[in-house]
Structure 1
Amino acid sequence: MTGSDTDAIVKQLFDRPLPPLEPGTTVYDKSLVDRIAKLPEHMFVVASLHLANDDIHRAHLIAQDNEGDATGNLLHATLHRREADYWNSKYWFSRVGSHPTIPSLSDAKAFVDACEAVQKEGDGDKEKQRLREKQWEELKGLVNWTRENCK
């Protein structure tokens, strides 16, 4: 597999419909699971691609193995927010420290609180839609950042 394989996967994921805030156990595209796992990329690139594919479990395995690293902790915080484990997400955001992809710790935690507040709202809710859009931009940014900075 080459960088073009990664490019093709990124394009496929970035072209997908807007993902849910909490995907549950449903992976977006099961045909990508093994392709992502076999990429000759840094583990954080692989984890961020798993997150973009709603594969919380595989992203979690990588994040858990890299506790203490700011990017590993950020991935851990993000995946827990996506699985609606809000307290745990804020715990991991506290362990990130600073990271170039998040404006501030308080903003990151406020986003977690906002996601929790709309958890029971219907998908037609404008605030939930806004949060889904913000989360998708965040996830795409995380994929791009790891591709550029984790070699």
Structure 2
Amino acid sequence: MADDVMMDLPAEVAQAVAPVLDALPMTQAMGRLVVPEAAARQVLPEAAARQVLPEDEAWQVAGGVTSPIIECVEAAVADGAIVSRPALVSGLWLYVDELDRSHVVSQGIDDATGSFWHGIMHRREGDFSNSHYWFRKVGTHPVMVDIDGYDPHQLIDDVEAASDDDHGRDFDQLVALQRREWQTLFAWCAQVES
């Protein structure tokens, strides 16, 4: 899957994000529909909101990922190919479930793409009405036609109805759609902002 993500990216962007995708492959990223710890991190100090797990379980950390992966993202967003492209920065933070960091960036992007990332972030934190609001601001976006079976408002409703405890067929399909949504939007942002 990392190869699928990389093949749609300009070389300089692919090089900058390769360590992130190697450390946290797409098949392990964004495996939860809602990251409930995001709201807790807004209230609790970061250290209290995180659990420390063995490195091989990094992608499963409640409330985010472990430090080595965060360090990979910090290096990627500081890279010259990424640093001046806030849509890519916002997307990378979403990729590793760092919703607060993504939110700070997406709030400063005053266009449909920024609203798209903003809407995804609110859906992933479980603030479904706010997610609908941001997707209404998006209206239509070129990326939407490139994602088979994609309706952002239906996805919000389906995620709200689903349970992260229920790893049935619908859950798996929603996670797969969430990953395609991220991959398609990130690749589009990398191409358009090149």
Q: 5+ residue gaps in structure 2? A: 1-11, 39-62
Q: One-letter code of the match for 1:93? A: F
Pair 1:131-2:174 in alignment:
yes
Tell me which residue corresponds to 2:78: 38
Q: 1:100 to 1:73 in 2, by over 3 A?
A: same
How many residue pairs are counted as aligned between the two chains? 147
Tell me which residue corresponds to 1:116: 160
The question of whether the paired residues in 2 share the 8 Å contact of 1:6 and 1:39 is answered with no
Pair 1:17-2:17 in alignment:
no
Q: Secondary structure at the match of 1:101?
A: helix
CA distance in 2, matches of 1:22, 1:50: 15
Q: Normalising by structure 2, report the TM-score.
A: 0.67
Q: Normalising by structure 1, report the TM-score.
A: 0.85
Larger radius of gyration: 2
Q: 5+ residue gaps in structure 1? A: none
Q: 1:95 to 1:12 in 2, by over 3 A?
A: same
CA distance in 2, matches of 1:5, 1:114: 33
Range with greater deviation from structure 2 (29-38 or 11-20): 11-20
Tell me which residue corresponds to 2:92: 49
The question of whether the paired residues in 2 share the 8 Å contact of 1:20 and 1:132 is answered with yes
The question of whether the paired residues in 2 share the 8 Å contact of 1:70 and 1:96 is answered with yes
Query: Percent identity among equivalent residues?
Result: 27
